[in-house]
């Protein structure tokens, strides 16, 4: 798999996350730490699915634990501060990309039963190729959370960087 787009998406997200003045969401949505914890959970889950496929098992992907407030708070509590969360996200994204870089074409095409929820609404309940789960992070998931973080920056009056897509943001996939 070509993970350059995913690596680039994470570079942009982490640049925004490291910026100053990330406030609280005006709509009561996630703060920056919750977004980062969510990304850690999603990346670890998809990495586990990928490793499961390589091992010959037939794992599933269900993002509900990645949205669970208790789980997000647990992840946040395991880190000293936002810089520590950012470092962990950077490392976890690198692990996921390294795994994806080594997937065979056959493994990348394995259909993974997937359940995705967003805003308490069912978004997807069907098998998705493993490559589709990983590519979806680069094409949609990470850019949406980058926009979400930019929204937190804009709420404090800081001007966001240019060149990022202006897609609507949701609390998480």
Q: Is residue 162 part of a domain?
A: no
- Whether 167 maps to a domain, the answer reads no
pLDDT confidence bin for 165, thresholds 50/70/90: very low
Question: How far, in Å, CA of 149 to CA of 59, rounded?
Answer: 31
23 pLDDT band, cuts 50/70/90, is: confident
**In the predicted structure, residue 170 carries a pLDDT above the cut 50:** no
Q: How far apart are CA 55 and CA 53, in angstroms?
A: 5
Please give the pLDDT value at position 147: 96
Q: In angstroms, how far is CA 31 from the centroid of its own chain? A: 14
Strands across the sheet containing 61-62:
61-62, 111-118, 121-129
Q: Which residue has the higher pLDDT, 25 or 98?
A: 98
Residue 114 φ/ψ, nearest 5 degrees: -130, 140
Tell me the pLDDT of the chain averaged across its residues. Answer: 90
Percent of the chain with pLDDT over 70: 88
CA-to-CA distance for 18 and 6, rounded, in angstroms? 18
Measured over all CA atoms, what is the biggest interatomic distance in the chain, rounded to whole angstroms? Answer: 50
In a domain, 74, yes or no: yes
> Does the residue 86 lie in any domain?
yes
Domain count, the chain: 1
Specify the DSSP element, H or E, that contains 84: helix 82-101
Could you give the C-alpha distances from 46 to 18, 78, 100, 133, 136, in angstroms and in order? 24, 20, 10, 7, 11
List phi, psi (to 5°) of 25: -70, 130
More confident residue, 166 or 41: 41
Question: Which pLDDT does position 153 carry in this prediction?
Answer: 81
Taking the model in full, what pTM does it have? 0.88
How far apart CA 75 and CA 48 sit, in angstroms, is 17
Q: Is 72 contained in some domain?
A: yes
Q: What is the pLDDT of residue 27?
A: 82
CATH number (domain holding residue 75): 1.20.120.450
User: Does residue 169 fall inside a structural domain?
Assistant: no
Q: What is the pLDDT of residue 162?
A: 44
Which letter does DSSP use for residue 138 in this model? Answer: I
Burial status of residue 80 (CB atoms within 10 A of its CB: 0-12, 13-18, 19 or more): exposed
Structural domain harbouring 126: 4-154
pLDDT band at 171 (very low <50, low <70, confident <90, very high): very low
Asked if residue 171 belongs to a domain, the reply is: no
pLDDT grade for 154, boundaries at 50, 70 and 90: low
Interval 138-154 mean pLDDT: 93
> Could you tell me if residue 110 is inside a domain?
yes
With a cut of 90, say whether residue 24 has pLDDT above it. no
Whose structure tokens read 């074409």?
A: 105
CA dihedral 148, 152, 158, 164 (to 10 degrees): 0
């Amino acid at each position: 798999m070509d993970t350059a787009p995913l690596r680039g998406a994470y570079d942009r997200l982490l640049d925004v996350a490291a910026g100053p003045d990330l406030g609280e969401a005006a709509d009561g949505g996630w703060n920056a730490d919750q977004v980062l914890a969510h990304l850690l959970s999603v990346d670890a889950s998809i990495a586990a699915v990928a490793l499961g496929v390589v091992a010959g098992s037939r794992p599933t992907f269900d993002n509900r634990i990645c949205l669970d407030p208790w789980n997000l708070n647990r992840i946040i509590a395991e880190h000293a501060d936002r810089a520590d969360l950012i470092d962990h996200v950077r490392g976890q994204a690198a692990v996921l990309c390294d795994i994806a870089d080594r997937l065979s074409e056959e493994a990348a095409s394995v259909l993974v039963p997937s359940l995705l929820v967003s805003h308490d609404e069912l978004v997807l309940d069907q098998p998705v190729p493993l490559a589709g789960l990983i590519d979806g992070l680069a094409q949609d998931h990470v850019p949406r959370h980058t926009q979400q973080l930019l929204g937190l920056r804009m709420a404090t009056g800081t001007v966001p960087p240019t060149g990022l897509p202006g897609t609507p943001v949701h609390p998480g996939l």
